[in-house]
Structure 1
Amino acid sequence: MHRISFLCVLLLLPACGDKNKARSTPPAKAETVGHETELLKLTLTPQAVQRLGIATIKVGQGQAAMMRETSGEIVVPNGAGGVPTGSLSNLAQIGTAQAAADGEVARTRAQARLARIALDRASRLVAEEAGSIRSRDEAAAALATAQAQANVAVEQRRLLGPSVAALDRQSALWVRVSVSGTDIADVARSSSVLVRALGATDSDSRAHPVQAPPSANAAAGTVDLYYAIDNRSHEWRVGQRVGVQLPIGRMQQGLTVPASAILRDIYGGEWVYAQTEPNHFVRQRVEITSAGADGAIVSRGLEPGMRVVTTGAMELFGTEFGVAH
Structure 2
Amino acid sequence: MALMKRSEKCMMRRRAPAAWGSAMVLFGALLTAACGGDAAKDAKPAPPAKVQNAPQETQLATITLSEQAEKRLGIELVAVERKTVQRTREFGGEVVVPPGRQIVVAAPVAGRLAAASSAGLPAAGAILQRGQAVFKLYALPPERDLIRTREEVTQAEIRYETAKQRAKRAEQLLKDKAGSVRANEEAQAERASAAEALKAVRGRLALLEKESGDVEPEGVTALIVAAPQPGVLSELHARPGQTVPTGTPLFAVMNADTVWIRVPVYVGELWRIDRSRPAEVRGLAVSAGNPVMQARPVAAPPSADANAASADLFYEVANGDGGLRPGQKVSATLMLKETQQALVVPWAAILHDIYGGTWVYVNTAAHVYARQRVEVRHLAGHLAVLSRGPVPGTRVVTSGAAELFGTEFATGK
Greater per-residue helix proportion: 1
CA gap 1:107/1:234 in 2 versus in 1, 3 angstroms: same
1:261 to 349, 363, 367: 349
Q: Would you say 1:303 and 2:391 are equivalent positions? A: yes
Q: 1:182 to 1:303 in 2, by over 3 A?
A: same
C-alpha root-mean-square deviation of aligned residues, in Å? 3.8
Alpha-carbon contact 2:279-2:333 (below 8 Å) kept: yes
Aligned-partner residue type, residue 273 of structure 2: V
Distance in 1 between the 2:313 and 2:255 partners? 23
Query: Radius of gyration: which is bigger?
Result: 2
Match of 1:248 among 323, 330, 336: 336
Equivalent residue, structure 2, for 1:145: none
TM-score by length of 2: 0.49
Is 1:293 aligned to residue 381 of structure 2? yes
Q: CA deviation at 1:192?
A: 0.8
Q: Please, which runs of 5 or more residues in structure 2 have no aligned partner? A: 1-39, 111-227, 236-251
Label 1:71 to 1:274 Cα distance change in 2 as closer, same or farther (>3 A): farther
Alignment of 1:158-197 (within 5 A): 163-164=233-234, 170-197=256-283
Q: What SS does the aligned partner of 2:63 have? A: strand
Alignment partner of 1:231 is 2:319:
yes
**Is 2:203 aligned against 1:200?**
no
Whole-angstrom CA distance in 1 between matches of 2:412 and 2:100: 46
Q: Name the SS of the counterpart of 1:67 in structure 2.
A: strand
SS of the residue aligned with 1:102? Answer: strand
**1 CA distance for matches of 2:99 and 2:409?**
48
Letter aligned with residue 181 of structure 1: V
1:168–1:234 contact (8 Å) kept in structure 2: no
- 2:97 maps to 1:76: yes
**CA distance change for structure 1 residues 221 and 285 in 2, over 3 Å: closer, same or farther?**
same
Deviations 1:102-137 (A, max 9, x none): 116x359xxxxxxxxxxxxxxxxxxxxxxxxxxxxx
Q: Which of 29-38 and 215-224 deviates more?
A: 29-38
Question: Structure 1 CA distance, aligned partners of 2:405 and 2:92?
Answer: 28
Choose from 397, 400, 409 the match for 1:312: 400
Shift of residue 252 of structure 1? 1.0
Residue aligning to 2:5: none
2:266·2:311 contact (CA, 8 Å) conserved in 1? yes
- Closer, same or farther in 2 for the Cα pair 1:42/1:213, shift >3 Å? farther
Q: 2-side partners of 1:196 and 1:324: how far apart?
A: 31
**In 2 relative to 1, CA 255–170 (structure 1 residues): closer, same or farther, beyond 3 Å?**
same
The Cα of 1:319 is off from its aligned counterpart by 4.2
Question: Does the C-alpha gap of structure 1 residues 313 and 78 become closer, same or farther in structure 2, counting only changes over 3 Å?
Answer: farther
1:282 maps to a residue whose letter is A
Instruction: Name the SS of the counterpart of 1:214 in structure 2.
Output: coil
Q: Map 1:73-112 to 2 at 5 A.
A: 73-79=94-100, 101-103=104-106, 106-107=108-109
The Cα of 1:324 is off from its aligned counterpart by 6.7
Percent of pairs with identical residues: 39
Instruction: Give the 3 Å change call, closer, same or farther, for CA 311–238 of structure 1 in structure 2.
Output: farther
1:278 counterpart residue number: 366
C-alpha contact (below 8 Å) 1:37/1:282 kept by paired residues: no
1:95 counterpart residue number: none
Alignment correspondent of 1:54: 75
Q: Which runs of 5+ in 1 are unaligned?
A: 1-19, 83-97, 109-156
- Paired residue total: 241
Residues 59-109 of structure 1: per-residue CA shift (max 9 Å, x gap)? 2232111111222222222237x9xxxxxxxxxxxxxxx6xx4116x359x
1:107–1:214 CA distance, 2 compared to 1 (3 A): farther
1:25 maps to 45
**Counterparts in 2 of 1:282 and 1:200: CA distance versus 1, 3 Å:** farther
1:190 Cα offset (Å): 0.9
CA pair 169-309 structure 1, distance change in 2 beyond 3 A: farther
Deviation at 1:259, TM superposition (A): 2.6
Are 1:63 and 1:256, in contact at CA under 8 Å, matched by a contact in 2? Answer: no
For 2:171, the equivalent position in structure 1 comes to none
Distance in structure 1 (CA, Å) of the matches to 2:72 and 2:395: 19
Deviates more, 1:311-320 or 1:240-249: 311-320
Shift of 1:223: 1.7
Q: 1:222 to 1:274 in 2, by over 3 A?
A: same
Deviates more, 1:201-210 or 1:48-57: 48-57
Within the candidate set 263, 282, 297, 1:209 is matched to 297
Bigger relative CO (Cα 8 Å, ≥ 6 apart): 1
- Report the residue type matching 1:263 in the other structure: L
